[in-house]
Structure 1
Amino acid sequence: MGIYKKSSGLIFDDRFDSGSIHSRYTLSPSDAISIDNTLGQVIMPHTDNDTSIMFDVPEEQTVLMEVTADYVPTELLDEGGIIIWEDGYHRLEFLESKDTTTREYSKWRALKKGNKWTFYADRGSGWEIFDTAPMVAEKMGVILKNREQDNFDTINLDRVVVCKSDKITVGNLPMGYSVYLCDPDGNSVASAVVEPNWTGCEIELPAVPYNGIIRVYDTQGTLLSSLGAFDIYGGDIYLFGTELKVVWNGKELNKETDTYLGTMYDNQILVQMILQNPSKEKPAKTISLGILKYMETFGYEWADICHDDGADMPTGAFSKLLDMGNLPPLGERKFWMKVERMEDRFQIKPLHFILDINHT
C-alpha cells in the first residue's frame, strides 16, 4: 500500500524556449509579439493599442493560472499583468504598475471558482491576495497597457501554467491520518489532518508546479508512504492504496461500491480475473493478493483465490493469500477466485468480502 497519483490537475504548462507560441494563444496585435530564443521569453512591447496574449478559459469549475514574467515598470502609466476578458467592453485587469517600494512582483495568479475570480501576486515572500470580482469570461491571459513612452518596460513572459486548482487532494485515508507536503530535502512546507467524517484532505501548493514530496503518517505518527520528489500541479488527486487494477469481464472491480459476482449455483461461484499494472513507468514488486473480512459481515470465510496455470479450469490450490510476484509496467497476470458454500447457512443478504492488494 502507498500513495499513487490517481489523476493530474495539469491543463497546460507553457515555457517559450521552443521558438514558437502554441496555437491556443490569441495575439493582439498579432505582429507585435515576438520570442527571444536566447532567453526563452515571449516579448510583449507597448503598442498604439493594448498588447495582449490570451487563450480560451478552460471549462473546469475551478481554474488556476500562474504567470511568471520579467516586468519592472518604473514610469507612471506603464502597467501590465493579468486580463480576464468577457468581450470588448467587459474585462477584469489585475495590473502591476510603478512601485515606490521598488519590490518586484515576480509572479501573478488568477484563481477562478465558478464565475468568481481572485487575484494574487508574489514578490518572493509568498502569495498576497489583492482583489476578487465576478465575471463570466471567455478568455484569459496577459496584457500590457498604454502606448510606448520613454523608459516604458516590455513584459518578458517566461511561463504560463494553467491547472484545475491551487490545491492537491490526497484521499482514501482514515480519520486522523496526516499528510505532509515537503520540499525536495524533506522539510515540511504544509500539512493537513483528515477530519472526522472525511476520507482525505487538501493542501494548498506554494507554487505550480511545486517540486516536492508527499508523505502520509498514521495517527501514531508512523510514516506509511512517501512519494517524490517530483512536479506537483494544482488539481492533482492522490490516493492511499494501490495503483494496480483487478479486471473481470473487461471491467475493473469497483473500488467504491460492491462488485456483483453473480448468483451461486451448485454451491459455487468460479471466476477468472486479471491483475494489471496500468503504469507505463513503474514496476510493481512483491505483490500479494488476499481475501479479507468486510466490516463484520459474513462472506470471506467462503472466498479463496489461486494462480492461473493456463488451463480452462483452475488446477492449483486455493488459499486466502496469494503471492503474485512482480509485474512490469503495463504487465498483467490472471488468477481464479472461488466462492464456495462450505456449510449450511441461511441468510437473505449477499455475501461480502474484500480483495486486498499489497506491493512495493
Structure 2
Amino acid sequence: MSTWRMPAETAPQERLWMAFPTGGYTLGDTEEDAHAARSTWAAVANAAVEFEPVTVVVDPDDVGIAARYLNRNVEVLAAPLNDAWMRDIGPTFVLDQDGSLGAVDWIFNGWGAQDWARWDKDALIAGEVSGRSGATHIVSALVNEGGGIQVDGQGTVLVTETVQLDPGRNPGLSRADVEAELARTIGATQVVWLPRGLARDSERFGTRGHVDIVAAIPSPGTLLVHSQQDPRHPDFQVSRDIIEHLRTTRDAAGREWSIIEVPAPEVLWDDEGFVDYSYINHVVVNGGVIACTFGDPNDDKALQILAEAYPGRRVVGIDARELFARGGGIHCITQQQPAAS
C-alpha cells in the first residue's frame, strides 16, 4: 500500500503554482478582454506572493507580456500552454510518511474530451511542474483534475459522480476502481461522493461538476458548502440536495460533518445565463486566504465566514468575475505545493 498522502490545504506550503492565460477563449476576442484576463490572473499571483513564493508557468511567447503584469517577486517558468487552469493541468502534490514530496500526474483530457477544449500542451504541464519542484513523479492512469477533489489531510476526499465516473473521462471504471486509485495516489481512506455539481458547471463549457466550487474542508470534520438562497436560481435546489446528501456522509474518522453554509452572491445572471459564482473557490496560503469577490452585497458576509473558518489567516478578496466568465475561480487557477521535510 502506498504511503503517499495529500495534506490539507491549511498545511504549511513551499509555494503556489499558477499559469498565465494565453490565447483562445481565456484571452477573449479583444485586447480589452485579454487585458482583463491577464490582470485578474496577475492580481491573484501578486496577492499570494505577499504570503509565500509563487511560480507562474508562462507560454514562451508571453514571457514579455507577463512581466508587465506580474510582481517582480513572482517567479516565471516558461513552458508551452493551451490554457491557464493550473489546478487542473498541474500535478496534485502529496507527501510520503517521511515528509518527502511527490507529485501525482493525472491524465488530463480537457475535462472529459470536450469538443471546445485543447490539451496537447497542457497534458504535459504536470510533468514539467513535477520536475521543476523536485518531487517524485507519480504517474496515474486516472483521468482527473485537481478541481475535482477536496481533502482534509486525514484520509477524506470529496469527489463527484459526474466527474470521476464521467464516460468522457474514465469509461468503464467503477467507484471501487476510482477509490483504489485515490487511495494509492493521495492516501484516501474515505471517499465522499457528491451526486453532481452546480448548474452552470454542468453545461457545455463547464467541468461537469467540480467539487471545488461546491464544498471545501477548512478543518477536519467541517465543511464550507455553497448555498444558493434565491429560489429563482437552479442551484437553489441543487445546493439543498447536496447539503442534505452531505449530512448522510461521514469523514475518515467517522465524524458527522459540521456544515457551514456559505451564501451565494445575490447576483443571479450574467450575459450567458445563471452564474455559478461561489465563495467556496478560494485558495489557502501560508497565513492567508485568497478569496473570490464579485462586487456583491454578500462579499463582506462571505469574507467574514472565511475569516472565522480559517482563524489566524488574513483574508484577501480579489474580484473574480473575469475568472468565472471564463469558467472558474481562484482555486481553479492555483495549485499549492506543501512544504516537504
Give the shorter-chain TM-score range: under 0.3
Between structures 1 and 2, the one with greater helix share: 2
- Max radius of gyration: which structure? 1
User: What's the TM-score, normalizing by structure 1?
Assistant: 0.24
Q: Which has the higher contact order (CA 8 A, sep 6+)?
A: 2
TM-score (norm 2): 0.25
Which structure has more strand as a fraction of its residues?
Answer: 1
